[in-house]
Structure 1
Amino acid sequence: MRVPIVFVDANVLYSKTLRDWLFLLRKETCGDMFTVASSNDVIAEVLYRIRRNNIGGPGHLTSNVKEKIEASLDELVRDFPAGMVFPGDDTHDTHVYAASIACGATYLVTDDAGFSDVSDELPYEVHSADSFFQLIGENVPRAVDNVIRAQISYYRSQSDSKTLSEALTLAKCPTFAEIVYQHLQAMSGGNTTAGIAESVKPVVIDDAAETPAVPEGVL
């Protein structure tokens, strides 16, 4: 059976919180549960947004992000056929649609509602970052535990003292934030984390809340 390919959109890769969770979960599952793909166009969009929101930042800011994203991907889509037609309303999403097809994606992870609106017309399953992380938690809770352990020391070292759950909530992953919180509670008590992700009901995101404009550092 083919390992599912997850194509990741720019609105997910832009956030350091989401990048870290995605690539650390990929590492913990050893590529046996999913592999990660994206495209040159998506990375260009990520870098454009980072530079736009950090006009006076150093030159290495974007180059570091580019290098580390590319090093973490299993596949970088460099080309796809011309003339593909995205069934959604926003033609600017065509390159994501086309690159996802070109790599044979099983899942598209995006926070762009335009894909969810036409999900029945797409050859792959559409997930938000929140729902995809919950899916991983349902199937391999131990991987979530291990990523939590790997990230705790980083978050404790930050001057703003955000918790793992708070960072995920700011990154518009409220359901997974609650899952991580409950994992931490169970782990601290020496209890199993199996079944937690299934028990957490999806949390509706407040569309009025803005994604942080400044990326939280680099990978």
Structure 2
Amino acid sequence: MISTFTVIFDANVLYGSRLRSLLMELSLSGLFRARWSADIHREWMTAISNNTGIDVTRLEKVRDDMDRAVPDAMVTGYEELITALNLPDPDDRHVLAAAIRCGASAIVTFNGKDFPVSELTRYGVHTKHPDEFIRDVDGLDPGVVAEAAIADRRHYQNPPLSIEDYIDGIRKAGLPMVASHLDKVRVLLAD
């Protein structure tokens, strides 16, 4: 059974491949409904391309894989809500608009300060740091994060990642609590 608890992933949590990959594995758990929009895709893809020089066409394959993996994730029809929203950075309004349109309870983001509580509560939305969000998901189904990490680590074949390198990558992705948790259950991560 798929949960009705819905979250929007902000572009900044989709920017880094390690976090994006783990979130995608967790999205398949059915414990929450992961959502994003074309604008969110465009934002993380543009940022990666601008910062790394990776061609956008390579990133379009990642985007398409994400959309296929979670077929109902794409939020549409939110554009007319954007202008009515009041956020410190007008460029973030599309994220809140998409959250409102799909009935999301939370925006998973590293930048909670960009989404003032006073504005979000009007729409029944709150922010959640990805480290806290992933730990909350594990609290719903203990072991699901370890299972997702096992599946995620299998994607890294060229070169393969050691458990230590995988956990270190999770830590560097801004997830110290998740990394600490995975370190404690590292025996479960072995192939």
TM-score (norm: length of structure 1): 0.73
Runs of 5+ in structure 2 lacking a partner? none
Matching residue of 1:213: none
Runs of 5+ in structure 1 lacking a partner? 189-219
Find out whether 1:170 has 2:172 as its counterpart: yes
Find out whether 1:134 has 2:135 as its counterpart: yes
Find out whether 1:17 has 2:18 as its counterpart: yes
Instruction: Check whether the contact 2:153–2:161 (CA below 8 A) recurs between aligned residues.
Output: no
Give, in angstroms, the shift of residue 128 of structure 1: 1.0
Give, in angstroms, the shift of residue 48 of structure 1: 0.6
Q: Which amino acid aligns with 1:146?
A: E
1: CA distance, partners of 2:181 / 2:107: 22
2: CA distance, partners of 1:140 / 1:164: 22
Percent sequence identity over aligned pairs: 24
Give, in angstroms, the shift of residue 79 of structure 1: 2.2
Which is helix-richer, 1 or 2? 2
Find out whether 1:70 has 2:70 as its counterpart: no
Larger Rg: 1
Q: Which amino acid aligns with 1:22?
A: L
Find out whether 1:60 has 2:62 as its counterpart: no
Count of residues in Structure 1 that have an aligned counterpart in Structure 2 = 183
1:149-206 deviations in Å (ceiling 9; x for gaps): 2234445753785622211111111111101111214x38xxxxxxxxxxxxxxxxxx
Distance change in 2, residues 1:2/1:154 (3 Å): closer
TM-score (norm: length of structure 2): 0.83
Cα RMSD of the aligned pairs, angstroms, is 2.6
1:75-113 deviations in Å (ceiling 9; x for gaps): 211221243213x32222111111110010022101113
